[in-house]
Chain A
């Protein structure tokens, strides 16, 4: 079955340090991959996406993600974390060539401390 996994419920990082939020997927075919962020009491906002091409994708607010086909991973990264990055992050995979289904991971709570 197709699935998206975020193995860490919570990631704690000190401000100024690099951060990584992990995402792996188990799918057939070539999914479109996305990262979204949800701030407290807010809806979800798009950060970045991968469809094809360069394995390193740059997105909003200084975030980037690295697509690794052999490891079926799409980890979110940022070189220097900010306290304002603290939020809930979701990885998602879409299958537009298989009907349009979209699967989200469970979410990772990122906490950046000063």
Chain B
């Protein structure tokens, strides 16, 4: 089944404790992206990648890191999480120019 998977689905952590949210797709898509969804603000792009070893900043990259060492994986790293990073996070993938396939979301709470 074609899908984008994210782990964990739910995470409660404390300020400053490094965490990684994994994202994997099995559709051989070139394009992968991370978004955060906050009420009233819609989805905002954090980082995106148009291919292996190619990443670029979206609109809200501060406090986040990504890497794209393999085509299928695009982990999101929070080196020192803060409460303002409490949000619902979505990973997505697509062929270039195509519609995004979204993962199920990761609800992160930073205390």
Instruction: Decide yes or no whether A100 CB sits under 8 A from chain B.
Output: yes
Chain B residues, CB < 8 A from A20: none
Give the number of chain A interface residues (Cβ < 8 Å): 25
Closest-CB distance, A18 to chain B (whole angstroms) = 24
Chain B residues, CB < 8 A from A9: 40
Chain A residues, CB < 8 A from B105: 43
Determine the distance from Cα of A46 to Cα of B31 in the docked complex, in whole angstroms.
16
Given contacts A43-B105, A46-B99, A100-B31, contact A90 B56 (CB under 8 A): no
Given contacts A100-B50, A106-B41, A107-B42, contact A44 B102 (CB under 8 A): yes
Closest-CB distance, B17 to chain A (whole angstroms) = 26
Chain B: which residue is nearest A4 at the CB level? B42
A105 is contacted by which of B42, B92, B98, B102 (Cβ under 8 Å)?
B42
Given contacts A32-B97, A96-B96, A96-B97, contact A102 B45 (CB under 8 A): yes
Chain B residues, CB < 8 A from A11: none
Near B by CB (< 8 A), chain A positions 2-33 give 6, 9, 32
Determine the distance from Cα of A44 to Cα of B98 in the docked complex, in whole angstroms.
15
A106 is contacted by which of B35, B42, B50 (Cβ under 8 Å)?
B42
Residues of B bordering A, CB below 8 Å? 31, 33, 35, 40-45, 48, 50, 56, 58-59, 90, 92, 96-105
